[in-house]
A and B are shown apart, each in its own frame.
Chain A
Amino acid sequence: MDKLLDVKDLKVSFNTFSGEVQAVRGVSFDVNKGETLAIVGESGSGKSVTTKALMQLLPKPQGFIKDGQILLEGEDIVQKSEKEMQKLRGQDISMIFQDPMTSLNPTMKVGTQIMEPLIKHQKMSRAKAKERAIELLELVGIPDASTRITQYPHQFSGGMRQRVVIAIALACDPKLLIADEPTTALDVTIQAQILELMKDIQRKTESSIIFITHDLGVVANVADRVAVMYAGKIVEIGTADEIFYNPKHPYTWGLLGSMPTLDNDGYDLIAIPGSPPDMTDPPKGDAFAPRNEYALKIDEELEPPLFKVSDTHYAATWLLHEDAPKIEPPESVKRRMQGIANTGTAPGVAKDGEK
């Protein structure tokens, strides 16, 4: 498979009054062509910051890429100037945001907003761009597209606005589409429709997608591979099957344990106890140790490296070290894994414990 994106040891920090917030502390992953990678993790784990760094949309001047490489088709985009990035954004990489109610310009016609990247990147004439905008709206399932493009965002419902945002993101056939919790702000039925739409579009355009979500149900539904983030690091990464049926990291167990399933299996949802560490002063050892009931002595001293489980599956926990005691995931998590195996897909309505 061809690698589209290769992120190597990415570190992102923010300068704040209380010191340097190390939001992302050395993240490495890759995305293949046509693949969907899901990034999951609790609030504040650094998911959005990672993807904002990919587009160099970090809030300036406080946010900056401290170290690392972001190779897009082999070219390091960390080194690119703002001008070069402007050519890249919307053309090679584009982004869908969480809240459709605020992510469209309220005083600009929807059509103009879709036409903007077409005119800029593909040098289309206005007439041509307008035609294409109508096509795009039809593609994302908005009826009566030729009148709709003359309307303003407030004339659209939330779900429709998210379709518009998707149409904008798709306008120039980007190689990589980043979706930062695109369904969180929508109600359940609309969520399902938007997910369906995104899967459908991926089948048609064969673009790669990075999909950020809190919701493991959504992950099971859309992802080829899953990266689990905690405190600015990837703690486990693998194919969707590996993460759901053979999770290795206690944090992943915690996420799975706190995920509701449709068939009430008699086990209570177990929220992960405690809260993430202060990122201005991250702990010396494993950042998850204080919340981990399986924590070992070494977790307090030394950060675990990524242990290889299979060619595609890695997890950063000392439990995988050959000298560590063999520990099985708790019963409730096993039952839940079973539940996913039985139903085929996990429910699309789940929210993790902290919400």
Chain B
Amino acid sequence: MIWEESIWTIKLAYTLFSIIGEFFVNNELSVNFRKESTLYQEVLQMGRFILKRVVYMVITLFIIASITFFLMKILPGSPLSAENKLSEEQQEIVLEKYGLNDPVPIQYVNYLAGLVQGDLGLSFHFDSTPVTDILANRVGPSAILGAESLIVGVILGVLLGLIAAIFHNGVLDFTSTIIAVLGTSIPSFVFAGLLQYVFAVQLGWFPVALWKGGLEYHVLPVIALMIFPMAISARFTRTEMLEVLGSDYITTARAKGVTQAGIVFKHGLRNALIPLITVIGPMAVSLITGTLVIEQIFAIPGIGEQFVNSVMVNDYPTIMGTTLFYSVLFVVIILIIDLLYGIIDPRIRLSGGEK
């Protein structure tokens, strides 16, 4: 059940991501992006491109912030419901303190004003710590966990996919396809549980949980988290590489006398990896949802664990702050991927989306 929900979250996130991505990729500036080819012009164009994109990002974030704000207001439940032991007066004091007695439009304006100054409000818990502080304290482990999983996963996945493509229809191809299928169809928390049981509880090679600095704490959660990006990249690389290897320009290269290694690495790899960049975005997004579960299982003090706890106790400012934080992450990832795409694919650099 949990898995089904997280699948839905991924799908939802993916759809949202695609819509935002579509919007960014198709705007007229990216089409004209780098029409001029002198270095100065390129830098100028690049600067303008980024600037314009940042403006769009701010608009997107504003919309997301507004939606989450009003959703929080509409949804049933109250931050105080978990603490019913408070007397009427005490509740009144708390509501006053957090500005929850003001009319909703005023609250909204205050909230936005705070946002502009980088203030996400105060948490309803943890002795009213500012949400930004909570996030700052928690971001480290999540970021490290996410980055490590993404990097390791993509690298291993690309290698796996390459091997599969080179030994097309051989035993290695078969093996790597099975790994890929398992990786995409088995949820990461199942792996997490399995790894925890076998390698921590039974064999005692790694700590069962927690996050105390040593690399040994990273191994199991990173493996659990990287399975999905690894499987996706492996499948993607295999398909793309096979297609590239069958293309006309590869025949041209072979007709020039290029060696098998040259065909795969000099001519094939770059062309096969370009499309992979488009799925790194959704993969990063899915990692964020993945951390929600994995951080719980391994008791890692990251944002994901915090987010789940905040949802449990209706800590609105923290929920909103975290959502906004994730949104910022999404749009920044999209921007980076678009820029990366332009650097790697010369066709995009010059002509935008059209082929």
- A-side residues, CB < 8 A to B, are 55, 57, 82, 86-91, 94-95, 97, 99, 102-108, 116-117, 120-121, 152, 154-155, 165, 168-169
In the assembled complex, how far is the CB of residue A176 from the closest CB belonging to chain B, in whole angstroms?
12
Residue of B252, B259, B260 touching A104 (CB-CB under 8 A): B252
Interface check B347, CB cutoff 8 A: yes
Find out whether the CB atom of B345 lies under 8 angstroms from the CB atom of A107. Answer: yes
A105 B346 Cβ-Cβ under 8 A: no
Report the nearest B residue to A95, measured CB to CB.
B255
B105 contacts chain A at the CB level, 8 A cutoff: no
Closest to A147 in B: B37
Q: How far is the CA of A102 from the CA of B252 in the complex (A)?
A: 10
B259 and A97 form a contact (CB under 8 A): no
Would you call B257 an interface residue if the criterion is a C-beta within 8 Å of the partner chain's C-beta atoms? Answer: yes
In contact, B256 and A90 (Cβ under 8 angstroms)? yes
Complex interface: chain B residues within 8 A of A165 (CB)? 252
B270 surroundings in chain A (CB, below 8 A): 107-108
Contact B255 A55 (CB under 8 A): yes
Q: Measured between C-beta atoms, what is the minimum distance from A158 to chain B in Å?
A: 14
Stretch at the interface among B5-13, B43-51, B120-128, B243-251: B243-251
B212 at the binding interface (Cβ < 8 Å): no
Q: Say whether A107 contacts B271, CB under 8 Å.
A: yes
Q: Out of B257, B266, B267, name the residue touching A88 (CB < 8 Å).
A: B257
Residues on A with C-beta less than 8 A from B339 are none
Of A102, A152, A154, which contacts B249 at CB under 8 A? Answer: A102
Number of interface residues of B (CB under 8 A): 24
Contact A121 B274 (CB under 8 A): no
* CA–CA, A102 and B355, complex, Å: 12
- B252 contacts which chain A residues (CB < 8 A)? 95, 97, 103-105, 165, 168
Task: Give chain A residues whose Cβ lies under 8 Å from the Cβ of B271.
Answer: 105-107
| B296-355 at interface with A (beta carbon < 8 Å) | 344-347, 350-351
Other than the given A57-B251, A97-B252, 15 more pairs (CB < 8 A) read A87-B257, A89-B257, A90-B256, A91-B257, A94-B256, A95-B255, A99-B248, A103-B251, A105-B249, A105-B271, A107-B271, A107-B347, A116-B256, A120-B256, A165-B252
Closest A-chain residue to B246, C-beta based? A59
26 example contacts (A-B, Cβ-Cβ < 8 A) are as follows: A55-B255, A57-B255, A86-B257, A86-B258, A86-B259, A87-B257, A89-B254, A90-B256, A90-B258, A94-B255, A99-B248, A102-B247, A105-B249, A105-B267, A107-B271, A107-B274, A107-B344, A107-B345, A107-B347, A116-B253, A116-B258, A121-B257, A152-B347, A154-B350, A168-B252, A169-B255
